[in-house]
Amino acid sequence: MTEFELIARFFTRPSRERQGVGDDCALIDVGGRTLAMTCDMLIERRHFFADVDPESLGHKALAVNLSDLAAAGATPRCFLLALALPRADERWLEAFAAGMFGLAEQFGCELIGGDTTRSPEWNQTSGPLTICITALGDVVPGPALSRAGARPGDDLWVSGTLGDAALALAFAAGAAAETDDRDACMARLERPTPRVRLGEQLRGLATAAIDVSDGLLGDLTHIGERSQVGARLRWADVPLSPALRRQSAALQQRCALAGGDDYELLFSAPPEKRPQVLAAGQLAGINVTRIGEIVAGRSIVVLDAGGGNMETPFSGFDHFKA
């Protein structure tokens, strides 16, 4: 059973709300307005190493949630923080809070509550440290962005560059690196920038959107499923950082097509909106690149530089796949 089969089978029921399980955010209508809500958990040894810089961890725990709000085109409003801590270490807590509030203040997003417990000791080890944030955002009048709505003929776009966070993990596992490349990729892994401003700009413009957290192909599959479409992607057009360009073709493909933790926005928009999409990127201060198009049917094809079908033995990250 995959993670998504599990969610579909046990936790998906008909929803009375504007949008229930299955997208980056749930959407609920409250007093004539729409609120976007999302919840993401980070667990020690699963999502981060025990010795990770606590300031970065505080930043990332909130950033991954704001990234889901960005995918809905929502404006961050407030969040709840649930913590299971192995111990109360003042210096650690100070740094964690500084990282988290640093990002929160950048987006005017207020911590409004949460829960704090001590995680258990077991087999002479304590933990795991677990951080779960629930974030709420405002959707200004007009439709939110969702994974559904992509239409055949739409362009497929992505923000920033892809694969750097996965490359940081490859470096950590022993791949040879220049120091600058290692630092740049580690920053992408540990302190991702949620594309909130871009998401806001894309409302009314993008036909579908998702944040790339589980790898480009995996997340594109989610758009395909929710929109009932396929996609054609041109590998040569996928934006890569200088650090990733210095790697072998095989590593480039693995990191950019299947690596997780990028937190860029992947979205579709009609070809006649190209100037507006480019303007949206400029206003948000992030490059946006056209990497392919939405097609009829359900297959996702990656074309190589010569226009032939590229073999892609990758799929998105899944917590439960064998």
Residues that bind ligand ADP (CB under 6 A): 7, 11, 21-24, 40, 68, 213
DSSP summary character for residue 238: S
Q: Is 23 in the site for Mg ion (CB under 5 A)?
A: no
Closest separation in Å from C-beta 219 to ligand ADP: 8
Residue 211 vs 262, nearer CB to Mg ion: 211
Per CB under 5 A, contacts with Mg ion among 42-81 are 68
CA distance 284 to 196: 8
Contact partner at residue 264 from Mg ion, ligand ADP, none, CB < 5 to 8 Å by partner kind = none
- Residue 9: C-alpha distances to residues 17, 21, 284 (Å): 19, 11, 38
Quick one: which of 23, 24, 154, 200 contacts Mg ion (CB under 5 A)? 24
Per CB under 5 A, contacts with Mg ion among 233-292 are none
Contact partner at residue 22 from Mg ion, ligand ADP, none, CB < 5 to 8 Å by partner kind = ligand ADP
Contact partner at residue 21 from Mg ion, ligand ADP, none, CB < 5 to 8 Å by partner kind = ligand ADP
* Sheet with 300-303, side-by-side order of all strands: 208-212, 264-269, 155-159, 288-295, 230-234, 300-303
Q: Is 164 in the site for Mg ion (CB under 5 A)?
A: no
- Residue 221: C-alpha distances to residues 16, 201, 210, 292, 296 (Å): 26, 24, 10, 14, 14
* Closest by Cα among 91, 106, 105, 108 to 55: 91
CA distance 55 to 179: 21
Residue 7 vs 305, nearer CB to ligand ADP: 7
Closest separation in Å from C-beta 36 to ligand ADP: 11
Residue 24 vs 181, nearer CB to ligand ADP: 24
Residue 5 vs 180, nearer CB to ligand ADP: 5
- Partners of 81 in the β-ladder: 114, 133
Closest separation in Å from C-beta 22 to ligand ADP: 5
Evaluate whether 266 touches 294 at the Cβ level (below 8 Å): no
Q: Is 211 in the site for Mg ion (CB under 5 A)?
A: yes
Residue 68 vs 264, nearer CB to Mg ion: 68
Which residue's CB comes closest to ligand ADP? 11
Closest separation in Å from C-beta 23 to Mg ion: 8
Closest separation in Å from C-beta 181 to ligand ADP: 27
* Closest by Cα among 267, 262, 264, 249 to 311: 249
* Closest by Cα among 164, 289, 305, 299 to 234: 305
Residues at the site binding Mg ion, with contacts judged by CB under 5 A? 24, 68, 211
